[in-house]
Amino acid sequence: MTQPNLGCGHEREEIYKPRKPPPVVCVVCAWQLHLVHGTHHGRDLWFLRHASRAPDCSVRLGEGMQHHLLKLDLAAHVRAVDGWRADYEVAAEDGSWRADVMATGPDGRRIAMEAQLASIAVTDIEARTARYQAENIECCWFTDRKTVPWLDNVPAARVQRPEDGGEVVVTAGPARFVPRLCDSACGPIIDGTPLACPGHGTWQGVDPFPLARFVAGLCHDTTRPHHVRIDFDPVLRWVTRPYLALEEQQRRAHAFFEQAIDDQAEINRRHRQAIHDLIARQDDLKRPVEEYLYARLGFYPELAGRGDPTFAMGVPVHVNGRPYAVICPVANRVAFRRTELASLILFAATERERDRIAAQALPGQRIEVIPRPQPQ
């Protein structure tokens, strides 16, 4: 009705106030329809209305002026996109769905645009959305209601028509991802460097913008429905690819951040285990080393209680108050103390430990292997 050519070989004027009522009937209730012409803020409005005493039907219930205006806006914005067409009241062959405005692209892609100004239960609108999806038809529900309980559940947008007749704007439904970084590092220190902040960005609503731009985005497939978290709750919102890219960038940063923390935790665990194992070896070798040196010196040496950094974290052994030997020094620390350790006897618990120490010590370093006592 919004175009002079009705698309069926007839002109609009042929069914507007004719002498004889034209055979135009409602496809739902089969009641006669009249073509109505009106204006709103200087705009021509053409739409079909049921003749008097018509029965209730799903089409008739949505014939308010605001409903017609919104459908008119949606159709006009679709037709403004190159290659796209808009048709009113397009129904499934089996009657399972009826779109207020069906937008069809040059590649056959279809988007059902529903002007849902009346109240509807969440379960009902979800079911109607599912019927479109079952036939590979995308959809978007438009409403001007202030309270929309289903806005988070189905692809939808809230619109507002200015009282001065200005262009309709979208006020809710789309969302944008707003990145946010800490002023300083917010994670642990890895290898002496604080981890950079992975980001604390959030999804937020958008400022009102023209409905025409939103419809163009739907047709160009640059805005898509996507589940996001707003105030910790998962909701369905219309988003664009750049915002999705920002979210993905933060997701990857968080994954790297968490992996780095896990890796550092594993390094710390292994380090603690290595210290535990080192202390156990040293404790096990204390008595055998005492007996070994007693057999050669004729008296017991003096053993420190624990490893000493000065002796590469090995347990120092003193004879007559002077360093004489070291029990199980840490191999990778021997390299930094090789000169001080060169004149001492180094004790190892296994051949493998001896080889590790020898690889870091000066050539000719005396290293004795004393096996750990077997547990009784």
Output the CA torsion sign for 277, 278, 281, 284.
Answer: negative
Domain that holds residue 360: 301-369
Other beta carbons within 10 angstroms of residue 81's beta carbon come to: 19
Are residue 25 and residue 68 in the same domain, yes or no?
no
Residues 79, 107: Cα–Cα separation, whole Å? 15
Please name which of 266, 326, 267 lies closest in space to residue 293, comparing C-alpha atoms. Answer: 326
Output the CA torsion sign for 119, 122, 124, 125.
Answer: positive
Q: Is residue 254 part of a domain?
A: no
Are residue 324 and residue 234 in the same domain, yes or no?
no
Q: Is residue 286 part of a domain?
A: no
**Alpha-carbon distance values, 46 to 6, 206, 212 (Å):** 12, 33, 20
Its pTM stands at 0.67
Q: Is residue 296 part of a domain?
A: no
Are residue 37 and residue 65 in the same domain, yes or no?
no
Output the CA torsion sign for 284, 286, 289, 294.
Answer: negative
Domain boundary among 232, 247, 262: 247
Q: Is residue 291 part of a domain?
A: no
Q: Is residue 40 part of a domain?
A: yes
DSSP-assigned states of every residue in 250-317: HHHHHHHHHHHHHHHHHHHHHHHHHHHHHHHHHHHHHHHHHHHHHHHHSS--EE-SS-BGGGTTBEEE
Are residue 9 and residue 147 in the same domain, yes or no?
no
Q: Is residue 260 part of a domain?
A: no
Domain boundary among 13, 39, 58: 58
Task: Look up residue 57 and give its two tokens.
Answer: 């039907």
Residues 111, 16: Cα–Cα separation, whole Å? 30
Residues 188, 223: Cα–Cα separation, whole Å? 38
Are residue 135 and residue 147 in the same domain, yes or no?
yes
Looking at the structure of the chain, the number of domains it has is 3
Per-residue pLDDT of the chain (376 residues; tens, 9 = 90+): 555 555 555 566 666 566 566 667 676 677 777 666 665 555 566 666 666 666 666 555 556 778 888 999 999 999 999 999 999 889 998 889 999 999 999 999 999 999 999 889 999 999 999 999 999 999 999 999 988 999 999 999 999 998 877 889 999 999 999 999 887 667 777 777 777 888 899 999 999 999 999 999 999 999 999 999 887 789 999 999 999 999 999 999 999 888 988 988 898 899 999 999 999 999 999 999 999 999 999 999 999 999 999 999 999 999 999 999 999 999 999 999 999 999 999 999 999 999 999 999 999 999 999 999 887 6
Eight-state DSSP code of residue 60: G
Are residue 212 and residue 123 in the same domain, yes or no?
yes
